[in-house]
Amino acid sequence: MDKKTYEAYVQLLNRELQPALGCTEPISIAYAAAKARETLGAMPDRISVSCSGNIIKNVQGVVVPNSMGLRGMDVAATLGVVGGNPKSGLEVLKEISPSDIEKTKELLRGGFCTCLLSSHENNLFIRIEVYNASDSAVVEITGHHTNITLIEKNSDVLFSKANEVEEDYFEKYAALLNVKDIVEFADSVNLEDVRFVLEREIAYNGAISQEGLSGAWGLGVGKSLLKFYDKHDVRTRACAAAAAGSDARMGGCSMPVVINSGSGNQGMTVSLPVMEYAKELALSQDQLMRALVLSNLISMQEKNQLGSLSAFCGAVCAGAAAGCGIAYLHGGRQHEISNVITNCLADIGGVVCDGAKASCASKIATAVKSGIFAFEMGMKENKSFLNGDGLVKSNADNTINSFGRMGRVGMKHTDQEILNIMLEKDM
């Protein structure tokens, strides 16, 4: 592997596998709001939140962490203003106190926050405006959950940059992702270059999965899988582990997770099933970490073709990647891993994203099950769907591009219609 590709892959893992507290869309709103108050230099009298449709879609159904069960854009923004710490990034709400929550409820009852749908062309766009009697401030985030592209105070621009700048590193490095090089990198990477982020992924995601299995979160999809299916079967445990993490996270659990491609659900899905299989096979920590290198990068390769937010459920990408990581643990390399990708995308590619909410746990379980079956069919039986079977192409890289185009371009209208339906009031 050439040095440029090696360093790009190390950068992707170290920069993308970051901790986040709660669903990343409401947290991103809270982060922008906390930054807006910091810029204003005082508590505002009122605030306005304007977000792209995909942000709204992923905020509407989830509990804002550390809010004692509250939901919505207005909650995320107000709580960020009241008690958020912008220096903590995607853990902006980790220091929220009970008094902050009571203050947030009081402000919301008084009409403190106005929420609007933005027509901004970027699928990931947040604009927070804060006002008091003498001053105003504006913060915008574009393209990436912590990518601040504009800061203003009293209409004076304090900070501005092109929307693409923060994304440049990901687009530049992700363009180098391909199955052959990812497998070679997983085999050869000096684990000391990525050990910290992988150990944190194992620790954080493992902890919230256990919380989901032991606590009362969401509909308890992970618990139900262990109850109704054979809990001694590693397949069941792998699905349950990932689903339970989502149960807790979508239910507002305040424990952090390590994300993948900007998503905590995807971060848990690419890692927890692989961790469960490594435990079943009694493999070493280093063997597990090499498999996680592979599963994380495969998921990034898939997600890079879709864009940051789309109508294509990201759990599908992560479930396929988890199947690849499981295949790697069993000795699979480029041929077998390519089979897994093809089989999984051919199976569940195109599942729609209708926002972040409790049922994400069930979709994750379905995606992991598909990834495991894709591994068993693609590695144990050496079977793969063929070029011309629907969107399947001549190799795994081209198949990823094919499904990515379908999700990014073909499902644009689907995405808008999903948002329209979600915003309708059901009488």
Per-residue pLDDT of 167-185, as tens digits, reads 467 778 999 999 999 999 9
Which phi and psi angles does 152 have, rounded to 5°? -125, 150
281-330 pLDDT per residue, tens: 999 999 999 999 999 999 999 999 987 777 899 999 999 999 999 999 99
- CATH 1.10.4100 for the 177-423 domain, yes or no: yes
Assess contact for 329 and 290: CB atoms under 8 A: no
Closest C-alpha to 307, from 193, 143, 160, 419: 143
For the chain, give the mean pLDDT. 93
pLDDT for the residue 134? 95
Ranges of each domain in the chain: 22-166, 177-423
Q: Are 297 and 12 in contact (CB under 8 A)?
A: yes
Q: Give domain 22-166's CATH architecture.
A: 2-Layer Sandwich (3.30)
pTM (2 decimals)?
0.89
* Residue whose token pair is 């349950």: 240
Contact assessment for residue 141 and residue 124, using Cβ atoms and an 8 Å cutoff: yes
Looking at residue 143, its pLDDT comes to 84
Output the pLDDT for position 221.
98
pLDDT at 426: 62
Contact 29, 84 (CB under 8 A): no
Q: What is the pLDDT of residue 166?
A: 46
| Mean pLDDT in residue range 334-358 | 95
DSSP-derived secondary structure letter, 320: H
Among 63-67, 237-241, 374-378, whose mean pLDDT is lowest?
63-67
> Which amino acid, residue 303?
K
Q: Indicate whether 128 pLDDT > 80.
A: yes
What is the arithmetic mean of pLDDT over 37-55? Answer: 95
| 334 burial via Cβ count (<10 Å: 0-12, 13-18, 19+) | middle
* pLDDT > 80? residue 115: yes
Do residues 297 and 182 lie in contact, with contact meaning Cβ atoms separated by under 8 Å? yes
Higher pLDDT, 166 or 1: 1
Query: What is the SS3 string spanning 372-405?
Result: HHHHHHHHHCCCCCCCCCCCCCCCHHHHHHHHHH
Note the pLDDT of residue 165: 44
